[in-house]
Amino acid sequence: MSAQRKDRRDLFFIAALLLGILILFMLPIGYVLLQNHFATVRAHRMLVHARALLRQDGLPLSVDEMNRLTTPPPLAENAAPIYDKIFMNFNQNPQWSLLERQTYPLLDNWLATIPIAPFGFTTSRPSASAMTPAQQESLLHVAQQYVQSARAQFPLTAKAVALPYCNFQRNWSLGSNLTFPEYSQAYKLIRLLLLRALLLDRAGKPLEALQQIDLGVKVAKQIGSDPVLLAFLTQYAMEGMLQRAWMRVVENHANDPQVLQCADKVSCDFGHGPDLIRDMYSEALWTELTSRVAHAEGERFLEEVNPQLTSPMPLGNSSESFLTHFWNRLLGKEQSKSLAAPTIDLMEANMLDYLHNFIQIEKRYANDPYQAMKAVQQLSADVSDAATRAPKEYFLVSVMDSNYQTTAIKGIYLRAWARQRQLVLDLFKYRLQHHQFPKDLSVFPNEETLDPFSDRPMRYRRTVQGFVLTSVGERALAANTSSDELTVRYPLSK
C-alpha cells in the first residue's frame, strides 16, 4: 500500500513538475501574445483616429471618395479634351521637337537663366551669348519656322484656357503606378508660347508678347489644378520660366505706360501659392493604397521600398510573434521578411497624422509663409527623431517628408516672385513720375516690400542706370543651402 502511495506521489510530483515547466514555458508565449494583442488594438485605434482627422480635413481615403471629389465637369467646361488634342499634335509632328531643341540656347539666353527642367531641376546647355550674330539670326529663323509650323496650337490653347476646369479623368485605382504624360507635353507648350513671345517682343509688339505669356500662365494654372503634388511642382517650374519672360518684356519697355498696365494684369494671373488641400488629395489616397499593398505583399513591398530610403529598413520583423520567431530560430531560418499587420497600421497612421499636421500648419500660417516653413521644418525634425527610434513605423513619412518640404518652399517662391513683379512695376511707374528710381523702398506700402522668405523688406539698391532688387531666398530658411538669392537687375546684366 505504501509503495502505491509512493508511486502516486512520484507521479504527482512528475506531473506537477511537467505542468510547472509547461506553465513556465507558456508564460513568455502568453506575455508576447498579450503584448501583440495590445499592439494590434493600439495601432488600430491610432489608424482610425488618423483617418478621421484626414476626412475632417477633406482628404479622400478611397478611390470612390477621390472620384467624387474629382467628378468630371460638363464637357463644354472641361479644357482637358482640348489639351489632349494639343498634345496629340505634338506627338504627330516629330519635326517640331527637332526644331524646338535647336532653339533651346536662344530661349535660355532670353530668359537669362540656366533653364528650369519640368520638375524644378536645372540643366546646363550652351548659352546663346557666346554665339556670333549670324548664328543668333540662324536660330531666330529656326524659331520662326517652328512657331509658324505649330501655329494651330495657339487658338487651341486660347480656347482651353478660356474654360473654367481641367480634369483629365485619372484612374486613381492605379495608385503610385499612375502616370502623368500630360505634364511633359504641357512643358513643350509653354516653351512654344515663350518662343512666340520672344519673337513678338523682338518685333516691337510687347503687348502681344505679354498675351502669350498670359496664355502660358493660365496653362500652368490649369495643369497645376490636378490634385497631385507633381502637378503643383510642374506649375512651379513653368511659372519660373514665365516669370523671367515677363521680366524681359517689362524691362525692354519700361517707359511705356501701356505695357506696364498690361503687365500688371498679366501678373495678377500668376499663381500666388499652392492649393494645398487639393494637392494633398493624392497623398492621402496613395497612403491608403500603399498600406493595402503592404498588407497583401509585405515581402515584395519592402524590397521595392527599401531602395528609396536613405537608410534602408532591416528586413527582419521585430513585431513577429514569439512562436514564429522561436520556430524559425529553431529550424535555422532567417527572420521573416513580412511586415506584421500592427506595424503596417502604424505606418499608415503616422503618415496620415503627418499629412494632417502639415495641412494644419499651412492653414494656421496661411498669411505668413515664413512661419509656416519654420513650423514645417520643426515637424520634419520631430518625425525624423521618431523615425530613428521606430524606422518601420515611420518609413512612409521618411520617404515623403522631403517632398512636402519642397512643396512648402516652392509655394514661398511663388509669393516672392509675385512680390518682385509688383515692386518692379512700382519702381518703373515711380520713375515715370519722378524721372528717377527711389533711394529706398520706403516710398511703397510696407506689405509690398516684404520678402516672404524672411518676413523682412527685400534688399534694394539704386544704381547709376537702374536698380538691384533681391530676395534672400532659401538661405533664410537654412544656412547651409546652396540655393541662390532671387535677384532682379535693371538693366539686365547677362
> Rounded to whole angstroms, how far apart are CA atoms 38 and 146?
67
Quick one: pLDDT at residue 290? 86
Mean pLDDT of the chain: 84
- Which residues, listed in sequence order, are joined to residue 488 by a DSSP beta bridge? 469
My answer on whether 218 and 302 are in the same domain is no
Per-residue HEC secondary structure of 315-380 comes to: CCCCCCCHHHHHHHHHCCCCCCCCCCHHHHHHHHHHHHHHHHHHHHHHHHCCCCHHHHHHHHHHHH
What's the DSSP call for residue 275? -
My answer on whether 107 and 19 are in the same domain is no
Q: Answer whether residue 484 is part of any domain.
A: no
C-alpha pair distances (Å), 204 with each of 28, 31, 249, 413, 430: 85, 83, 10, 31, 24
> Containing H/E element for 459?
strand 459-462
My answer on whether 263 and 293 are in the same domain is no
Q: Answer whether residue 492 is part of any domain.
A: no
My answer on whether 170 and 230 are in the same domain is yes
My answer on whether 221 and 90 are in the same domain is yes
Listed residues 251, 271, 291: the one ending a domain: 271
Query: Is residue 116 very low, low, confident or very high in pLDDT (cuts 50, 70, 90)?
Result: very low
> Rounded to whole angstroms, how far apart are CA atoms 444 and 76?
44
Listed residues 227, 245, 271: the one ending a domain: 271
Query: Is residue 479 very low, low, confident or very high in pLDDT (cuts 50, 70, 90)?
Result: low
My answer on whether 15 and 118 are in the same domain is no
pLDDT tens by residue, 307-351: 554 444 443 443 444 444 444 444 444 444 456 788 889 989 999
Overall size of the chain counted in residues: 494
Quick one: pLDDT at residue 144? 97
For the chain, percent of residues with pLDDT exceeding 90: 57
Strands in 380-442 per DSSP E? none
My answer on whether 95 and 218 are in the same domain is yes
Q: Answer whether residue 350 is part of any domain.
A: yes
Quick one: pLDDT at residue 423? 96
Listed residues 252, 271, 290: the one ending a domain: 271
My answer on whether 261 and 285 are in the same domain is no
pLDDT tens by residue, 130-144: 667 888 899 999 999
> Rounded to whole angstroms, how far apart are CA atoms 415 and 271?
8
Which is more confident, 480 or 184?
Answer: 184
Q: Write down the H helix ranges in 61-179.
A: 63-69, 80-92, 94-102, 104-111, 133-149, 153-161
Scanning the structure block, which residue is given the C-alpha cell 516672385?
Answer: 417
In the chain, what is the greatest distance between 2 CA atoms, to the nearest angstrom? 128
My answer on whether 136 and 209 are in the same domain is yes
Q: Which whole number is the average pLDDT over 440-466? A: 92
Domain count across the chain: 2
Least confident of 7-16, 193-202, 405-414: 7-16
By the 8 A CB rule, do 290 and 298 touch? no
Q: Answer whether residue 454 is part of any domain.
A: no
Scanning the structure block, which residue is given the C-alpha cell 518601420?
Answer: 392
Q: Answer whether residue 136 is part of any domain.
A: yes
Q: Answer whether residue 255 is part of any domain.
A: yes
DSSP string, 479-494: TT--PPPEEEEES---
My answer on whether 252 and 291 are in the same domain is no
User: Is the omega angle on the peptide bond into residue 438 within 30 degrees of 0, that is, cis?
Assistant: no
Nearest-10 crossing angle of helices 153-161, 181-202: 110
Which is more confident, 489 or 340?
Answer: 489
> Rounded to whole angstroms, how far apart are CA atoms 319 and 146?
61
Q: Model's pTM, two decimal places? A: 0.83
Q: Answer whether residue 418 is part of any domain.
A: no
Q: Answer whether residue 260 is part of any domain.
A: yes
For the chain, percent of residues with pLDDT exceeding 70: 81
Q: Which domain holds residue 402?
A: 2-56+281-325+337-407
> Rounded to whole angstroms, how far apart are CA atoms 258 and 247?
15
Which is more confident, 325 or 153?
Answer: 153
Quick one: pLDDT at residue 424? 96
Q: Which whole number is the average pLDDT over 59-67? A: 94
My answer on whether 121 and 235 are in the same domain is yes
pLDDT tens by residue, 14-57: 777 777 777 766 666 565 555 566 677 788 899 999 999 999 99
Q: What are phi and psi of 122, to 5 degrees?
A: -90, 150
My answer on whether 42 and 83 are in the same domain is no
Neighbour tally for 139: CB within 10 Å? 18
Quick one: pLDDT at residue 122? 37
Whether 75 shows a pLDDT value over 80: the answer reads yes
Query: Is residue 477 very low, low, confident or very high in pLDDT (cuts 50, 70, 90)?
Result: confident
